[in-house]
């Protein structure tokens, strides 16, 4: 603590006593402070526990709900509002919108006086330091957490649980995923590298795929976590278009086509139509994937954004069905929705079923 030389000894002693008993000068302030390290590598001192949050990414809202803290969200960005409108976050119906993830309304955020703002850590502007600079005058802390990269997801949930005082809930949540991930890892250890399948993952746009380095999409890491080999391991861009003939030349064993359909899909017919289009592309006719019927349409709900944490289970089942005969991705997702989101299973997420 820095004390100005002209402060009275009485104020100094009072402050020291308050520090010793772990309370703050203002009754409305939390009892403690903790330091966390966010996904941008920033050390951030936040109140403990964090009681009010503005989320600038829907991933954060869903992960807070998984830990039983959705009621602490006091403001949200438009992407989160879109999820509310879809019916996946009904608890936030009356929570105010504070702009978009890309262009937050800092004045509105300041009016809400949250303890913390959660934004993406990198790769998508604005980054945490920029948001922090805007909110520093209001004493609002900014934490960068993504929840879409499988390689750091457990660390992020642990950090979120620590911030919220929900450490036990975070451990329970992570244990649910570990039970599947551990089994996948143990099984994949028995599959030699030459026997692992190559995967072409196409985005919603035709012949758009994803890079594998840095903060990219996270999809190549998800493929690797499922025991697959990304068709373009040398590419690092977030997303890029590829030559159809080059895809054919690289000859993927399995093709996944991502779709924004999922929670709101009423039947498999739309998924089937998407798959039929890929199966009918003449340039792909001689690939192993098409010849062997290994073309799958998968929802970004379970293979994009925060949904990538489900991806290894869905993809491993498709890639090595004989190795995971009694692992049911749909049951896995159903339990997640019921147990950690308070939602009943609905929609279509993978077609065809392996």
For the chain, domain boundaries: 31-165, 187-351
Let me know: does 116 contact 46? Beta carbons within 8 Å.
yes
Confidence bin at 23 (pLDDT 50/70/90): very low
Q: Report pLDDT digits (tens) over 174-198.
A: 999 999 999 999 999 999 999 999 9
Three-state SS at 85: helix
**CATH (one of 3.40.50.1980, 2.40.30.10, 3.40.50.1100, 3.30.565.10) for 31-165:** 3.40.50.1980
Helical spans, DSSP H, in the chain: 9-20, 58-66, 78-86, 106-112, 128-135, 153-164, 167-188, 219-225, 244-250, 269-279, 288-291, 311-319, 329-336
Query: What number of other Cβ atoms are within 10 A of residue 243's Cβ?
Result: 10
Query: What number of other Cβ atoms are within 10 A of residue 225's Cβ?
Result: 22
Decide if 31-165 and 187-351 have a common fold.
Answer: yes
Can you give the length of the chain in residues?
Answer: 354
Three-state SS at 183: helix
Q: What are phi and psi of 56, to 5 degrees?
A: -110, 30
Q: What is 187-351's CATH topology?
A: Rossmann fold (3.40.50)
Across 34-44, average pLDDT? 97
Three-state SS at 236: coil
Confidence bin at 137 (pLDDT 50/70/90): very high
Q: Does 17 have pLDDT greater than 80?
A: no
How far apart are alpha carbons 46 and 141 in whole angstroms?
7
Q: What are phi and psi of 46, to 5 degrees?
A: -130, 160
Confidence bin at 123 (pLDDT 50/70/90): confident
């Amino acid at each position: 603590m820095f004390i100005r030389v002209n402060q009275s000894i009485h104020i100094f002693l009072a402050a020291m006593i308050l520090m010793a008993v772990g309370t703050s000068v203002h009754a409305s302030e939390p009892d403690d402070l903790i330091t966390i390290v966010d996904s941008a590598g920033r050390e951030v001192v936040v109140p403990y526990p964090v009681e009010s949050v503005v989320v600038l990414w829907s991933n954060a809202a869903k992960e807070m709900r998984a830990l039983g803290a959705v009621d602490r969200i006091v403001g949200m960005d438009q992407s989160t509002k879109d999820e509310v409108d879809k019916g996946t976050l009904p608890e936030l119906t009356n929570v105010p919108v504070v702009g978009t993830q890309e262009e937050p309304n800092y004045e509105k955020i300041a009016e809400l006086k949250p303890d913390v703002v959660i934004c993406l850590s990198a790769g998508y502007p604005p980054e945490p330091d920029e948001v922090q600079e805007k909110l520093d005058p209001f004493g609002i802390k900014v934490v960068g957490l993504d929840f879409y990269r499988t390689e750091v997801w457990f660390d992020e949930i642990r950090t979120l649980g620590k911030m919220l005082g929900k450490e036990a809930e975070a451990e329970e949540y992570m244990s649910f995923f570990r039970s599947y991930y551990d089994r996948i890892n143990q099984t994949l250890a028995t599959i030699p590298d030459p026997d692992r399948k190559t995967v072409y993952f196409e985005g919603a746009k035709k012949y758009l795929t994803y890079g594998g380095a840095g903060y990219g999409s996270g999809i190549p890491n998800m493929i690797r976590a499922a025991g697959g080999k990304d068709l373009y391991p040398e590419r690092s861009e977030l997303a890029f278009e590829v030559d159809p003939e080059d895809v054919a030349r690289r000859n993927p064993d399995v093709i996944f086509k991502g779709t924004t359909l999922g929670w709101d899909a009423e039947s498999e017919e739309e998924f089937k139509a998407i798959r039929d289009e890929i199966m009918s592309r003449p340039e792909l006719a001689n690939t192993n994937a098409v010849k062997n019927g290994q073309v799958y349409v998968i929802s970004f709900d379970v293979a994009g954004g925060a949904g990538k944490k489900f991806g290894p289970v869905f993809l491993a089942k498709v890639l090595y069905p004989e190795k995971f005969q009694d692992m049911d991705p749909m049951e896995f997702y159903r339990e997640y929705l019921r147990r950690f989101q308070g939602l009943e299973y609905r929609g279509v997420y993978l077609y065809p079923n392996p």
